[in-house]
Structure 1
Amino acid sequence: MRALGRALATQLRAGDLVILSGGLGAGKTTLTQGIGDGLGVRGPITSPTFVIARVHPPLRGNGAAVSPAGQRPALVHADAYRLGSALELDDLDLDTDTSSSVTVVEWGEGLAEGLAADRLEIAIAPEPGGSGELDDMTADRARTVRISAVGERWEGIKLPLADLADRL
């Protein structure tokens, strides 16, 4: 999941919205950690379940993704798990139309789509297996990942999933 996140980061730019869905332990935060690595932001990137949202500013001089204006975007990492409606998400005032950050919303399906017309929607599902116990959720196992590119921003852009799947 981290490798996929790093590969996705090469295509992300400031103003992009990524909505992640999948059950507990599916790999949403791990994918976001990879995106953060690829963007070159300050970490550590951990689940923002209890704080709802965190901003990870870009580090300097590490060769990560750079916007057309020559600046690397920050990463806004939000978790909508405890939110009850799109209005509560809107109250967070996540500025997804800004030119300074990439926004990733975990548990955002059905809540975050209104934040931006152009977005990536990523659904993650671990393959069946293991005991299903909480300790087993972090096990290294295969996952099914579906990436849906929504909006004009993503027209003609080749997303890395097909190439990456061949290497994993």
Structure 2
Amino acid sequence: MPFEHSIKTSSPDETYALGARLSSFLEAGDTVSLSGSLGAGKTALVRGIASGLKVKSHVSSPTFTYLHVHEPEVSGGRTLHHFDVYRLRDASDFIEHGFDEQVGGEVISVVEWGDRVRGVLPDPVIDISVTYGEGQDDRIFQIHVPDNRDMAALVGDCS
């Protein structure tokens, strides 16, 4: 049964912590598609995911390079491919740049603005949309996991 849940964070630190928790549920070959407005917290979530995956490089938005590859810092860590496809015209650009060959396999891929290329991402895709909440730093993460992995622990201490 698919997992779908809405999680609220109230600060960039909480968003980072959510990403770190989420990383423990990610498996080799997973693709995470992030969507949301500019400044909504997508990169903060990716920083948390990267921390949980134990990557050695600093995570920043790859807007001007499209893809950052983050290798694991320690044995047992996992490689993260962090895409930002904001500047691509459409999904055909994703394929033209060969990015479709960089997702799947043994890496974890996170695609910011993934809704723009959703049709060419390999299934299953974990979809996460980020929206602004009521407070200045409040964010609402709508998480949809299409397979039947047990994600209940992810929401254990979240609202």
Instruction: Indicate whether the TM-score tops 0.5.
Output: yes
Kindly indicate whether the alpha-carbon contact (under 8 Å) linking 1:11 and 1:159 is maintained by their aligned counterparts in 2.
no
Letter aligned with residue 127 of structure 2: E
**Higher-RCO chain (CA-CA 8 Å, sequence separation at least 6):** 2
Residue identity (%): 34
Residue of 77, 96, 100 corresponding to 2:82: 77
Aligned residue in 1 for 2:139: 143
Shift of 1:122: 0.3
What SS does the aligned partner of 2:27 have? Answer: coil
Give the Å deviation of 1:161: 4.3
Whole-Å separation in 2 of the counterparts to 1:160 and 1:57 = 27
What amino acid does structure 2 have at the position aligned with 1:156? Answer: R
1:96 aligned partner: 103
Change (3 A) 1:17 1:159: farther
Richer in strand (by share):
2
Alignment length (residue pairs): 143
TM superposition outliers: structure 1 runs of 4+ over 4 Å:
none
Larger radius of gyration: 1
Where do residues 86-165 of structure 1 align in structure 2 (5 Å cutoff)?
86-94=91-99, 95-99=102-106, 101-130=107-136, 141-150=137-146, 154-158=147-151, 160-165=153-158
- Scaled by the length of structure 1, the TM-score of the pair is 0.78
Aligned-pair Cα RMSD in Å: 1.7
TM-score (normalizing by structure 2)? 0.82
Instruction: Tell me, yes or no, if the aligned pair for 2:35 and 2:114 is still in contact at 8 Å.
Output: yes
Taking the aligned partners of 1:105 and 1:35, their CA distance within structure 2 comes to 12
Q: How far does residue 111 in structure 1 lie from its aligned partner after superposition?
A: 1.1
**SS of corresponding position for 1:55:** strand
Equivalent in the alignment of 2:6: none
